Amino acid sequence: MDVQFLIDNIFTLTITGLVLGSVYALVALGYTMVYGVLQLINFAHSEVFMYGTFAATFTVMALGGTRDTSTGGAILMLLLALVAAMLVSGAIALVLERVAYRPLLRRNAPKLVVLISSIGASFVLAEIMGLRDKITKFVGLDDSLSAYVTRARNNVQFPDVVDPVRLFKIGDYNVNSIDLLILGSAILMMVGVDQFVRRSRLGRGIRAVAQDPESAALMGVNSTRVIQVTFLIGGLMAGAAAFFFVLKYTVTRYDVGFILGVKAFTAAVLGGIGNLRGALLGGLILGVAENYGSALFGTEWKDVVAFLLLVLILLFRPTGLLGEALGKSRA
Amino acid sequence: MTSQENAAAKRTLGERIGALPKPWKITAMVLIAAFFYVLPLLEPPFISTPGADFGAVMFTVATYALVALGLNIVVGYAGLLDLGYVGFYAVGAYSVAVLTTYHAHWPFLLAVPVAVLAAMISGIILGAPTLRVRGDYLAIVTLGFGEIIRLVANNTAWLGEAGGINEIGKPPNADLFDVPHLNWDSGSPLLDVQDKTTVIKFGILDQIPYYWLALTVVIIILFADTLIKDSRVGRAWEATREDEDAAELMGVPTFKFKLLAFAMGAFVGGLSGALYATKTSFINPESFILILSILFVAAVVVGGQGNRWGVIVGAALVGYLPERFRGFEEWRILVFGLALMVLATYRPQGLLPPRRTLRARQVEQEMDALEGESTA
């Protein structure tokens, strides 16, 4: 127990925790929405995120971003990278729904079987990325794509086109532009999704299916469309999270999604699964708690702290902090 | 064709074996068991694994079968999704490792009961608070548990940290006689006197004695499983799985029985972990990564959850196929993932579903037929 270290670094730990937490929150959104509508754990959502990180990285690489890129060019590149990450993640999420979920849902398969299917899909997606060198060689494109596919199992570096600009100090931590950008846009996006679900016509459909799929279908809600939109929103948000992730941590890998996915799901459960605001709260709390925990007990206990927190919350408040259910949350 | 004839025509292999006269049945069982005991000595072509030691692969298959039997109690019988089963496996393995090395230096046979007990206690500690929460959360809590066990082993000095524990104790030897292996190189079976296995010597290179030990344990657990499944406990699990509220109303203390299922699953998991530890004689946290838990669940679901023979088949596939096709090593997880998706889509009940499911489906069909008549 290193309480002194925690107290000395409380501002740094809190702010970096909040930044990581907002990435968790954005990924958690995908878990929580799919769970709210289908009552299923979308195990492959972590790979949706992983594809986003690669889309962002490859976009900047393809545009030739380096340290020397001018500020204006860099901002344009990053914007394109964000769009690319969101599009790729959204597309992967849609494919996932079509291939791994819809055939099973149509047959009313038991939940466990759908989970197995999504675990399978998760393996397939991760391995395709991990084997991209072999696959491109098979197709004969390995020469032209060699910059992107060599050493497919290793870390891929995000070109550092922008240096974080120090903006102001909180305590002894210099808040930089990237931290502020991530935290601000994550919260904005979460608010946007929340408002979409609460106010729009499609959002009403989502809530209706979450509450009672059969009645919703009888009332004319196209549940397939609703499920698609749910996956799409989750994918778009995971793509944004992926962009912020590579921007902040500047590195990605074919298996980057797994542990982050587990954490994000933990965040969703923490806040109350199916609850959008819960996902935000859960993500932020988890990020900060992890940082405090690793300050107290050492970095190697970081993940243990996260899981213990989850167990404790479930013991004392089994529905999560804000209560569960997408349909019921202030409908 | 009436439904009875239909049912008779569709009798499964298990039912046919069950319908045999008892002496025949026992003879068949003994023969099958004997075949599996000598299988690693036969090293038959096609089945034998070119890239890996066949005895070691058979041992892996046997431990997977054991794990699948244990997990089947939790997932198949009681209907609880446990994604952290590797945690119990690790507790069993680490208990044996610590007790037979370091200061204790216990003999293996003394360490095993303690290891199994430790796994059971960890199951109860995990289950007591979490089995009250909803089923879906159980999945994530158990997932967390499996990771916590691994991380604790990784960060604790007396558990060897990332380096792991060496020189784990072996079971006692009984050097009785040598048996030669078969060699198929020339196309026909020949006795290979160079390649011999000593009965029963738990050495380092020859893995076959460990396989025999594991196979024996599998057979014992199979017997125990049969007895439990057909007992009051088994029926209580089934009732809990199908409808927890109804079971509770009928006077089944569902929480207690779920906890019991968890503890028994942990028992078997710990046992197979102990076997694994003694066979490899070296364990480290890398041996207990999360993906193993998922492979275990996949074995149970692919084989047919709730059917003890089905999950053994599933375990054999999950344990054996990747070793058989080592040449495609890099592609095997990809293929495995595809196989899971295809199976889930086209055969969601698993390769060998339990008989009850077939019967239930038959009733369903009859109901549908009746409804069809009434509307027509």
- What pLDDT score was predicted for residue B187? 67
* Position B288 pLDDT exceeds 70: yes
Measured between CB atoms, which of B141, B143, B155 is closest to A314?
A: B141
Say yes or no: A153 contacts chain B, CB-CB below 8 A: no
> In what helix (H) or strand (E) does residue A29 lie, and over which residues does it extend?
helix A10-38
- Compute the average pLDDT of residues A102-108: 86
Please give the Cα distance from B96 to B101 (Å, whole number): 8
- What pLDDT score was predicted for residue B229? 87
Among the residue ranges A15-19, A200-204, B3-7, the one predicted with the least confidence is B3-7
Please give the Cα distance from A67 to A74 (Å, whole number): 9
B101 phi/psi in degrees, rounded to 5? -120, -155
Among the residue ranges A241-250, B11-20, B58-67, B238-247, the one predicted with the least confidence is B11-20
Mean pLDDT taken over chain A? 86
Q: How confident is the model at residue B5 (pLDDT cuts 50, 70, 90)?
A: very low
Are the Cβ atoms of B130 and A124 closer than 8 angstroms? Answer: no
- Compute the average pLDDT of residues A235-244: 94
B344 vs chain A: nearest CA distance in angstroms?
Answer: 5
> In what helix (H) or strand (E) does residue A300 lie, and over which residues does it extend?
none
Q: How confident is the model at residue A48 (pLDDT cuts 50, 70, 90)?
A: very high
* Position A55 pLDDT exceeds 90: yes
Please give the Cα distance from A86 to A28 (Å, whole number): 15
* Position B286 pLDDT exceeds 70: yes
Please give the Cα distance from A221 to A223 (Å, whole number): 6
Range of A178-182, A310-314, B144-148 with top mean pLDDT: A178-182
Chain B residues whose CB is inside 8 A of the A104 CB are 344-345, 348
- Compute the average pLDDT of residues A299-320: 80
Count of Cβ atoms closer than 10 Å to residue B196 Cβ = 15
CB proximity list for B226: less than 8 A, separation 6 or greater: B308
- What pLDDT score was predicted for residue A121? 92
Among the residue ranges A141-145, B106-110, B346-350, the one predicted with the least confidence is A141-145
- Residue in chain A closest to B137 (alpha carbons) equals A269
- What pLDDT score was predicted for residue B146? 86
Are the Cβ atoms of A117 and B345 closer than 8 angstroms? Answer: yes
User: What per-residue string of b and e applies to A222-238 under the rule 16 or more CB within 10 Å gives b?
Assistant: ebeebbbbbbbbbbbbb
Beta strands in A55-178, from DSSP E residues, in sequence order: 156-157, 166-170, 173-176
More confident residue, B244 or A230: A230
- Residue in chain B closest to A41 (alpha carbons) equals B136
* Position B2 pLDDT exceeds 50: no
Beta strands in B147-301, from DSSP E residues, in sequence order: 177-183, 190-199
> In what helix (H) or strand (E) does residue A251 lie, and over which residues does it extend?
strand A251-252
B192 vs chain A: nearest CA distance in angstroms?
Answer: 40
Percent of chain A with pLDDT over 90: 31
Amino acid identity for residue A44 in this structure: A
Measured between CB atoms, which of A114, A123, A269 is closest to B334?
A: A123
Please give the Cα distance from A115 to A41 (Å, whole number): 7
* Position A197 pLDDT exceeds 60: yes
Chain A residues whose CB is inside 8 A of the B150 CB are none
A286 vs chain B: nearest CA distance in angstroms?
Answer: 14
Measured between CB atoms, which of B137, B147, B330 is closest to A269?
A: B137
Please give the Cα distance from B94 to B164 (Å, whole number): 9
Please give the Cα distance from B171 to B183 (Å, whole number): 28
More confident residue, A164 or B32: B32
CA A301 to chain centre: 22
| Alpha helix (H) residue ranges in A141-222 | 146-149, 177-199, 201-211, 213-218
- Residue in chain A closest to B75 (alpha carbons) equals A112
Chain B residues whose CB is inside 8 A of the A300 CB are 151, 154-155
Q: How confident is the model at residue A324 (pLDDT cuts 50, 70, 90)?
A: low
Measured between CB atoms, which of A127, A131, A262 is closest to B143?
A: A262
Q: Annotate B247-268 with DSSP letters as a single string.
A: HHHTT--HHHHHHHHHHHHHHH
The helix-helix angle for B254-280 and B54-72 (nearest 10°) equals: 170
Are the Cβ atoms of B140 and A123 closer than 8 angstroms? Answer: no
* Position B8 pLDDT exceeds 60: no
* Position B10 pLDDT exceeds 60: no
More confident residue, B250 or B140: B250
Q: How confident is the model at residue B224 (pLDDT cuts 50, 70, 90)?
A: very high
More confident residue, A19 or A305: A19
CB proximity list for B339: less than 8 A, separation 6 or greater: A120, B302
CA-based diameter of chain A, in Å? 61
Amino acid identity for residue A145 in this structure: L
Q: How confident is the model at residue A328 (pLDDT cuts 50, 70, 90)?
A: low
Q: Which domains does chain B have, with CATH numbers?
A: 3-40+52-294 (1.10.3470)
Among the residue ranges A115-124, B16-25, B330-339, the one predicted with the least confidence is B16-25
Q: Which residues in chain A (113-132) have CB-CB distances under 8 A to chain B?
A: 113-117, 119-124, 127-128, 131
B133 vs chain A: nearest CA distance in angstroms?
Answer: 6
- Compute the average pLDDT of residues B63-68: 92
- Interface mutation vs chain A, best among B71, B83, B137, most A CBs within 10 Å: B137
B302 vs chain A: nearest CA distance in angstroms?
Answer: 9
Dump pLDDT digits (tens) for B160-208. Answer: 777 778 777 777 777 777 777 777 666 666 666 666 777 777 777 778 8
Amino acid identity for residue A279 in this structure: A
Please give the Cα distance from A166 to A174 (Å, whole number): 6
Measured between CB atoms, which of A121, A131, A269 is closest to B140?
A: A269
Q: Are B306 and B352 in contact (CB under 8 A)?
A: no
A185 vs chain B: nearest CA distance in angstroms?
Answer: 29
Say yes or no: A262 contacts chain B, CB-CB below 8 A: yes
Residue A43 DSSP code: T
Chain B residues whose CB is inside 8 A of the A109 CB are 344, 348
- Compute the average pLDDT of residues A98-107: 88
Count residue pairs from A and B with Cβ separation < 8 A: 122
Residue B165 DSSP code: B
CB proximity list for A70: less than 8 A, separation 6 or greater: none
More confident residue, B61 or A70: B61
Please give the Cα distance from A13 to A251 (Å, whole number): 21
Are the Cβ atoms of B331 and A104 closer than 8 angstroms? Answer: no
- Compute the average pLDDT of residues B308-324: 84
Per the rule left: phi > 0, alpha: psi between -120 and 50, beta: everything else, B40 is: alpha
- Compute the average pLDDT of residues A312-329: 70
More confident residue, B163 or A209: A209
Residue B177 DSSP code: E
More confident residue, A194 or A138: A194
Q: How confident is the model at residue A295 (pLDDT cuts 50, 70, 90)?
A: confident
Q: Are B155 and A303 in contact (CB under 8 A)?
A: no
- Residue in chain B closest to A103 (alpha carbons) equals B345
A310 vs chain B: nearest CA distance in angstroms?
Answer: 7
Q: Which residues in chain A (188-247) have CB-CB distances under 8 A to chain B?
A: none
Q: How confident is the model at residue B4 (pLDDT cuts 50, 70, 90)?
A: very low
Are the Cβ atoms of A104 and B345 closer than 8 angstroms? Answer: yes
Mean pLDDT taken over chain B? 81
B4 vs chain A: nearest CA distance in angstroms?
Answer: 27
Percent of chain A with pLDDT over 70: 97
- What pLDDT score was predicted for residue B3? 47
Are the Cβ atoms of B294 and A119 closer than 8 angstroms? Answer: yes
- What pLDDT score was predicted for residue B141? 80
Measured between CB atoms, which of A111, A120, A308 is closest to B337?
A: A120
Say yes or no: A298 contacts chain B, CB-CB below 8 A: yes
Among the residue ranges A28-37, A151-160, B32-41, B318-327, the one predicted with the least confidence is B318-327
* Position B348 pLDDT exceeds 80: no
Note every long-range contact of B207-212, with CB atoms under 8 Å and residues 24 or more positions apart, other chains counting. B207/B53, B207/B55, B207/B56, B207/B58, B207/B59, B207/B279, B208/B40, B208/B41, B208/B55, B208/B58, B208/B59, B210/B55, B210/B59, B210/B275, B210/B278, B210/B279, B211/B40, B211/B55, B211/B58, B211/B59, B211/B62, B212/B37
Please give the Cα distance from B110 to B114 (Å, whole number): 7
- Compute the average pLDDT of residues A82-96: 95
Query: B191 forms bridges with which residues in the sheet?
Result: B182
Q: Are A292 and B122 in contact (CB under 8 A)?
A: no
Q: How confident is the model at residue A321 (pLDDT cuts 50, 70, 90)?
A: confident
Complex ipTM, two decimals? Answer: 0.84
Kindly state the tokens that stand for B63.
């431990």
Q: Are B92 and B255 in contact (CB under 8 A)?
A: no
A69 vs chain B: nearest CA distance in angstroms?
Answer: 38
Measured between CB atoms, which of A35, A100, A303 is closest to B341?
A: A100
Percent of chain B with pLDDT over 70: 83
- Compute the average pLDDT of residues A92-111: 88
More confident residue, B14 or A161: A161
